[in-house]
Each structure stands twice: as structure tokens, then as C-alpha cells.
Amino acid sequence: MAQVYNWQLGREMEYRFPEAHPKWQFAAVFNINRCIGCQTCTMACKSTWTFSEGQEHMWWNNVESKPYGGYPHNWDVKLLQLLNGISPGMSWDGSQPGALQAPYGRYEGETIFEAAKRAELPDTAVGYLPTDEEWTAPNIYEDTPVNRATSTQATRLPEHKTWFFYLQRICNHCTYPACVAACPRNAIYKRPEDGIVLIDQERCRGYQKCVQECPYKKPMYRPSTRTSEKCIACYPRVEGSDPLTNGLPMEARCMAACVGRIRLQGLVPMAEDGTWKPEPTNPLYYLIREEKVALPLYPQFGTEPNVYYIPPRWVPRPYLRQMFGPGVDAAIAAYRRPSRRLQAVLQLFRATQTIVFRFDVKEGAQIAEVQVDGQPMALYDDVVIGFDSRGKEVVRVSVKQPFFERPAQYLNSI
Ligand code: SF4
Ligand code: SF4
């Protein structure tokens, strides 16, 4: 095992391979607050990549209803129980967050890699192989809230007594992927150009160690080929080699199809030591590292996942802290009272399919003053401008959405 630095944990940790980082890292932000659970993303992925024989149960993108739903069933509860059984606690010292190298504080518990080693498991990481039954019904418990029968009181933000939320999931293209560490054939690799994690179908022999050890359960076994497969981040689109993209890096299908406009995907520039190069006008860098409004899913597992979530405002905080770590309160506070710049950058979600590498904000007039938590908050009609990989403007959106009135002669037409 090598020592590597995991900034999401604010400390070094053990991993099978020494540090080796890509030039760019695939990353995304999902705004849970806006998801309507329509599953358009799920179907966009399924109809593109997993419509063939032997792939019937493969949902590389899925949207599950928390707290009860999960695909495979109960994947996170099972993993948390396993990890807690070996290494009780999973505690954080979040008292001194803020540093670039430890923005959420320091994780004091053990990761899935460390716990496996200390417990002398034969595996690289704590994990389990889901049963066939658990791979059925990808939307089990959809829209099922807690306390539906017992709570008849109307509730108010910030927390609801009756609640559920949608959790959108793809492979996290982790910085320290458990699937890569698990594979005895070294068939899984992380691309040096964009950090996308792929399974080499020629080398894979279907041992399913990746299925067992990925804590997010994102590699899936295909019986018709006897190999494992997983989300490929629509890499032809991301690298700009898909004919549709005209040579420009484009977002993955699940991102581009999102009806709720909750997804923003991009590439962040990486330094050789694995830190993110400071790039405050890269929208992903800005949201995740500057504003800290989006957080990694179960960072305590230790894989340094690269999909980040704006946590739902109405859910009890202990539940969210377990899921997203100690940065939850600051992230929700930043989202409830967004800074002027954040108000503008949030408009970039689903404004274009082309990956935005840089943004600029042109300031406009104040259009309103609202009350948030008893404090006044000004709203401005600023304009956010997005630039592609070649530095060319590809999108321009204002905070105040334009209003169109249909002319009387077209009222009944579509
Ligand atoms: S989410 Fe799982 S499959 Fe994806 S890179 Fe991370 S460990 Fe590998
Ligand atoms: S398409 Fe967007 S809004 Fe619809 S379920 Fe997927 S993430 Fe949610």
C-alpha cells in the first residue's frame, strides 16, 4: 500500500497504487434541490449504452429516492454497516475547515482501504457482492417519504418532518478508485488525459472484484460476455471525438438530457500532486472549491469521488452529514443565501451541451430584494457568459429569465 493525499479527507491515506494524476479530471455538480425524478437522464444513458443482451439490469445512471431507495438495493446502508462493523465511528474533526487541502476538516475514521488492511481481509477494500435480487427494481421505494403516516403537521424549511429526496448516481470517476485497486487483472485504468475510469474489455475475465469493492456499486457484471462494464462518462463526447461535437468537448448524455437543469459537468485542471489547480473562473472549481456549495458523496469511503452534490435543504442534517460529510451546513447556507456571483453561475446549469471551461459575469441592475432567514438579500440581473475549450463564447444567460408572450393567433398551436 502507498500513502496518498486525499483532500476530501484532509489527510493522507493508504491506497494500492502511488499517486499518479491526470492532466484534467472529469467532474460534475448535481443540484439535488432541483431534481424532479423524471428519469430522463436514466433513459438517455440506457438508450445510448446498455440496450443490448445481457445488459438488462445495467443502469449506469440511476436516480434513487432516499432514504429507502437504492440501486442495488440498500447499497449504502450495507456498506456503512460493514465499515462501521470493522471500524466504528467514521468521525470527523470539522473544527478547522477552510484550508484548500482540508476544506471540510479532517476525517478521523478509517476508509474502506484502511479498514480492510487492519482487519486483514483478503481484499483491497471493504465491500460485498450484491445478490441477483438486489440488482432488480432500480427504482424501488420511489417517492416514498419518511413519517408519512405519523406527521400530519405542515412543516417549514429548513427541515421537513416528512421528507425524501432524489439522489442521482453515476460512476464517480474517483481519484483513488476502489475498482482499479480491486482488479487482480489490472484491467481497469484511469485515463491520464481526463481521469475517466474504464474497464479494458480485452483484459477483464469477469472475476467481479470491482463489483465487490466499488463502494458505490457502479461496475456491473454482464453474463452474456462474462465481463464487467461500467459508466464510460460518454468519453467520445467529453474528448470531442464524437462527430456531433464538432471537435469540442461536450457533456455526457445524462447531463445534456437533464430536464430539471440540475446537472453541470466539466473538466478541472489538475496539478501533478493531485491538487486542483486554482482556477476560480472554471465553473466546477468555483462551485466546489471556492463556494463549497457542492459536496462529495460519502467521502469517508476514501475514493475521492468526483461527482459533487448541492445537498437538499429540507432533509435532517444528521442524515446529510453522514452522506456528504461535515461541509453540509456551510453548503446549504451558501445555497440558501447565494452570493451575487453564485446567483449568476447557477444559471449555467443546462444552458449548453458544450463543456464550459471558463465563465465571466457581467454585472446588471438590482431587480429585487427578498427576505431570507429574516435578512434582506438583493437579486441582480447579472449575465453569466460561458467559454468553450478554445476560449470562444458558447453561452450567455441572465439571472432574470426572459418572459415570452405567445401572440394571440398562435395560442392553440404547438
Ligand atoms: S465509483 Fe466505483 S466504479 Fe466508479 S471509479 Fe469510483 S470505485 Fe470505480
Ligand atoms: S433528468 Fe435531471 S431532473 Fe430528471 S431525474 Fe435526471 S437528474 Fe433529475
Assigned domain for 140 exists: yes
Query: What is the Å distance from ligand 1's center to 218 Cα?
Result: 6
Rounded-to-integer distance, Cα 28 and Cα 61, Å? 13
- What lines the ligand 2 site, CB under 6 Å? 35-41, 63, 166, 168, 257-260, 262-263
For atom 4 of ligand 2, the residue with the nearest CA is: 38
Query: Are 99 and 228 within one domain?
Result: yes
pLDDT tens for residues 352-374?
A: 999 999 999 999 999 999 999 89
Mutation choice for ligand 2 from 64, 142, 258, 307, CB with most ligand atoms inside 8 A:
258
Query: What is the Å distance from ligand 2's center to 61 Cα?
Result: 10
CATH number, domain of 186, equals 3.30.70.20
Mutation choice for ligand 1 from 16, 58, 214, 220, CB with most ligand atoms inside 8 A:
214
For atom 2 of ligand 2, the residue with the nearest CA is: 258
- pLDDT of residue 204 exceeding 80, the answer is yes
Q: Which of 302, 336, 370 is the last residue of a domain?
A: 336
- Residues 137-163 have a mean pLDDT of 79
For atom 4 of ligand 1, the residue with the nearest CA is: 171
Query: Are 395 and 255 within one domain?
Result: no
Assigned domain for 345 exists: no
pLDDT tens for residues 258-295?
A: 999 999 999 999 998 889 999 999 999 999 999 999 99
Query: Are 213 and 67 within one domain?
Result: yes
Assigned domain for 207 exists: yes
Range with the poorest average pLDDT among 223-232, 349-358, 404-413 = 404-413
Query: Are 356 and 331 within one domain?
Result: no
Specify the pTM: 0.95
Q: Residue 212 in contact with residue 128, Cβ under 8 Å? A: yes
Give me the pLDDT at residue 325, please: 97
Residues spanned by the domain of 98:
2-336
Domains held by the chain: number: 2
pLDDT tens for residues 11-48?
A: 999 999 999 999 999 999 999 999 999 999 999 999 99
Q: Which of 336, 371, 386 is the last residue of a domain?
A: 336
Query: Are 270 and 371 within one domain?
Result: no
